[in-house]
Amino acid sequence: MLSENKTRVLIMTAVDAERDAVLRGLGERGDKFDVKSNTGLPESGDRIEFEVELAGVGPALAAARTARALARGRYSLVVSAGIGGGFVERAEVGTLVMASEIVAADLGAETPDGYLSVDELGFGASRIAVESGLAKAWADKLVEQGWTVCSGPILTVSTVTGSAETAFDRAARVVGAAAEGMEGYGVAAAAHDVGVPALEIRSVSNPVGPRDRAAWRIKDALTALEAAFSNFPEVLR
Ligand SMILES: O=C(O)c1cccc(C(=O)CC[C@H]2O[C@@H](n3cnc4c(=O)[nH]cnc43)[C@H](O)[C@@H]2O)c1
């Protein structure tokens, strides 16, 4: 007989439209979902409960809100999710990006010799590892469903890239940079601080580069985000 253990997964999005897309994707399956095998984090016999919360925009508020949510109890996994910018020739608009690592891309210092990350300054870590088995399983599942998924570093920035120069600098700083968003590192830092594994997924609404807000394809990106979460419970089984 299955036990009544519960696996709690916390999903953080910046804004309401992203949270709604995630909830549409998860549908009614939330805590009615039994885990029968042990391929992901949950124990066999666990029931999975999803909680989707607003992180707000930017890494500071995202970290504060994630820490507050995590203080409510025991969680198995935290996911930072939302739309994002895709690096050209890595992730096109309308596709999905699964983080291979979560990178604070502007947490450091400018020097006459170039940018130094917090790691190089000796003040901490600019990169947070993801739960790689789950990231791969989720990406594989989405590819199987016909989605284009790029797995690579997702950069967290406090200032959205708005020029080709900044896009070039950021891509050069992080080998394989696939996407950027504004919350991932904050969410993951709060999770890491209490020993909870993290993931980040972005659906690409715009290219990283010269600002053209009117051209952001938000609806397409929200559709892709919804699809990503409609496949997520299966991945956790
Ligand atoms: O206006 C709307 O309907 C709408 C719906 C959903 C989301 C938004 C946002 O503006 C979300 C802001 C959020 O998006 C991330 N983002 C998107 N593109 C980039 C980018 O090129 N560089 C960095 N971040 C990006 C970011 O995480 C923001 O928090 C609007």
Residue ranges and CATH numbers for the domains of the chain are 6-236 (3.40.50.1580)
**Residues paired with 181 in a beta bridge:** 156
CA–CA distances in Å: residue 230 to residues 26, 150, 162, 183: 5, 18, 32, 22
Between CA 222 and CA 98 the distance in angstroms is 15
pLDDT score for 116: 97
Kindly state the percentage of the chain with pLDDT values over 90. Answer: 88
Ligand 1 centre and the CA of 17: distance in Å?
10
Say if residue 34's pLDDT is above 90: no
The complex's ipTM works out to 0.95
Averaged pLDDT for residues 128-149: 98
Torsion over CA: 129, 133, 139, 143 (sign): positive
Atom of ligand 1 nearest to the CA of 208: 21
What pLDDT score does 152 carry? Answer: 98
Probe target for ligand 1 pocket from 18, 61, 83, 163, with the most ligand atoms within 8 Å of CB = 83
Structure tokens at 166: 């900044």
Condensed to tens digits (0 to 9), the pLDDT of residues 112-134 reads 999 999 999 999 999 999 999 99
Q: By 3-state DSSP, what share of the chain in percent is helix, strand and coil, each rounded to 5?
A: 35, 30, 35
Please, which pLDDT band fits residue 161 given cuts at 50, 70 and 90?
very high
